Amino acid sequence: MAVSISPLDNRYAKKVEHFANIFNESNLNKTRTLVEIEWLIYLCSRLTPTFPKISQSSIKKLRNIYENFSISDAKQIKQIEKTTNHDVKAIEYFVRNKIKSDKTLMMYENYIHFGLTSEDINSTSYALMINNALKIIHKEYTDSLKLIKNLSLKGKNIPLLARTHGQPASPSTFGKEFKVFESRLHSQLKDLPSKKVLGKWGGASGNFHTFVITNSKINWIRESKNFFQLLSLPLNEITTQIEPHDCIADLSHQMIRCNNILLDLVKDIWLYIANDLFILKKKDKEVGSSTMPHKVNPIDFENAEGNLGLANSLLDFFANKLTQSRLQRDLSDSTVLRNFGMAFGYISLALTSINNGLHKLQINRIASQEELDQNWQILAEPLQIILKLEGYTDPYNMVKKYTRGAKMDKQDYLDFVNNLAISNKSKELLLSLTPSNYIGLAETISSLKL
């Protein structure tokens, strides 16, 4: 039985398998192998006669090495690394061993890892993996966004007592409050796909030394950019030995903002559930407590809160740590980058929980209406506005005297309005108001297109 320390590797393994397939050690080595081989192919197909010309059949053989990358290959690389104590050098030796048995390919052996430092391979490989993962997590965020949008439309005309500072405030609708989260998340997700992680290709200290010494007439920066275009990857041309990871910090902060919006959402939903404004659909065989059979707990939203918090902690650390490196480089970024996939895993878990929870939500119209009916004092706002229009000099304090910290029921409100010395038109308007219909443009806002 394999021993694992993280719940991502055991309890939640099936749920995050798609990210495990990207960020596992075997796929990292497969991606490194791809980059090594594609660079060899580029040199020998694009930069002849400096490098020996390569045939299509040889190219096909080389690409078969990473296209058919196996568990056995992954084990071979780890075995080599035991001797080299260097992960990327182990990739180079692995590729060398693969081509030594082919007389045609043997002539290209000296051009494996040509002119490169290990960070050229590493940064490029991580960039490829992270950018692939970004496409997946963007879709998962978008799936949650769609559910939020549906709830916004579904509840657009269902009134809700708003609360500011936890106190009863001017009413809204369920739909409009979900629309706020839809709008915020939509805004962040619109920019997320543009947060591409960059690779680097400048050698030991970022100055393309080895390439220039090979052939100073070649525009190596341009050729490197052309190579990266083939990988569908942006190139950072100005680096030290490592890509400085500002792009990873940018991506991390963008995902933190997405997660914070969702954290805000799940905490609000938790409070709505606690106040009986939402009912959770029950599953017959589920239990909410080991000892209290009546309970239907909001566990999906609680799990989401925990996992989003874990993701944000990791992302914040990545953004702060990876952008700092001593002089032209130290190795501290290496062990940190190996954990980057965990953030995607925790976000994915959270999004799954959020989606499950949103599917269970039912608006409790009865409880919402009862709460509104118990708080007629919230109409103090339109009262003082109408009194201003009627020419009263200090309507705020006049209304405050009767309403601040007090509860008003319907009769209290009607008595107050009927005793006002105002025009019949204004009085009719105020008498037509209720906590349920004083919602302003909430319904309209819920239907706005983003």
Class of domain 376-434: mainly alpha
Whether the predicted pLDDT of 204 surpasses 90: yes
- Calculate the alpha carbon distances from 211 to 198, 221, 232, 422 in Å: 20, 10, 22, 87
With 70 as the cut, is the pLDDT of residue 245 above it?
A: yes
- Provide the H-helix boundaries in 195-339: 209-214, 220-230, 246-274, 299-321, 332-337
Q: Answer yes or no: is pLDDT of 287 > 80.
A: no
* pLDDT score at 405: 86
pLDDT at 431 over 90: yes
- pLDDT at residue number 284: 66
Residue 424: its pLDDT value, please? 96
What is the CATH topology of the domain spanning 119-365? Fumarase C; Chain A, domain 2 (1.20.200)
pLDDT digits (tens, 9 = 90+) for 319-341: 999 999 999 999 999 999 999 99
Q: Is the pLDDT of residue 125 over 80?
A: yes
Indicate where the chain has its CATH 1.10.40.30 domain(s).
376-434
pLDDT at 412 over 70: yes
Q: Mean of the pLDDT values across residues 343-370?
A: 97
pLDDT of residue 198: 97
**What pLDDT digit, counting tens, does each position of 223-237 carry?**
999 999 999 999 999
Q: Output the pLDDT for position 221.
A: 97
pLDDT band at residue 110 using 50, 70 and 90 as cut-offs: very high
Cβ-Cβ contacts under 8 Å for 304 (sequence gap 6 or more): 262, 266, 349, 350, 351, 353, 354, 357
pLDDT band at 288; cut points 50, 70, 90: low
In terms of pTM, does the model score above 0.85?
Answer: yes
Residue 16, pLDDT score: 95
Q: Which fold has domain 16-114?
A: Fumarase C; Chain B, domain 1 (1.10.275)
On the CB side of 45, CA atoms within 13 Å amount to 17
- pLDDT value at residue 353: 97
Calculate the average pLDDT of the chain: 95
Mean pLDDT score, 220-225: 97
Residues annotated catalytic, as ranges: 165, 289
**What integer pLDDT is reported at residue 282 of this predicted model?**
74
How many helices and strands (H and E) does the chain possess? 19, 4
Q: Which residue intervals of the chain bear CATH 1.20.200.10?
A: 119-365
Helix (H) or strand (E) holding 363: strand 361-363
- Res 205 pLDDT > 60: yes
pLDDT tier for residue 290 given thresholds of 50, 70 and 90: low
Query: Residue 192 above 90 pLDDT?
Result: yes
